[in-house]
Amino acid sequence: ASGAAEAIITFVSDLLLTLIIMEVLGTVVNYLETHATSLKPFLFIGIISATRGILAVGARLSVSTFEQLNPAEFRDSMIELGINAAVIIALGVTLKLIGNFLDEDVDDGAAPSSAEAGAEGVASPTDALARQVDTPIERSTNDAVMPVAPSET
């Protein structure tokens, strides 16, 4: 039974590793085609990687007997699980915030129309984010970050 459990755990871990590699390759191909990238794929990769870490720790704990596991190893495993869970939560919140930011830019008309995009292709939320990043920023009296329109001199 232990051999079958280890085989299933290895299979799931390898499957998640394959998913990470496919996501990286998809991001590279997208960059080569559009010459623009997004933060979202890297956040997905981080979430998948942390999930894989949680599954690896859970697998390690499930196949070891209670006598084989000393308190220091158990404590280290619990810390690793907590850190991986915190990473997943942080990356998930970041993904949600970035998704909201990009959705607002698209809704506000920040993304150019296909005519404005020209021969380079269809405009994407990544283009809107790139323009937002390139916009100069000034501080207001309440220290909120506000974009400033480029001056035409």
What pLDDT does residue 65 have? Answer: 73
What pLDDT does residue 3 have? Answer: 77
What pLDDT does residue 139 have? Answer: 42
Tell me if 48 sits within 8 A of 19, measured CB to CB: yes
What pLDDT does residue 149 have? Answer: 52
What pLDDT does residue 6 have? Answer: 78
What pLDDT does residue 108 have? Answer: 59
Element (H, E) at 147: strand 145-147
What DSSP string describes 92-121? HHHHHHHHHHHHHHHHTT-SPPHHHHGGG-
Q: How high is the mean pLDDT in each 10-residue block of the chain (153 residues)? A: 77 90 92 88 92 89 78 92 97 91 62 43 47 45 47 52
Paired tokens of 74: 């158990």
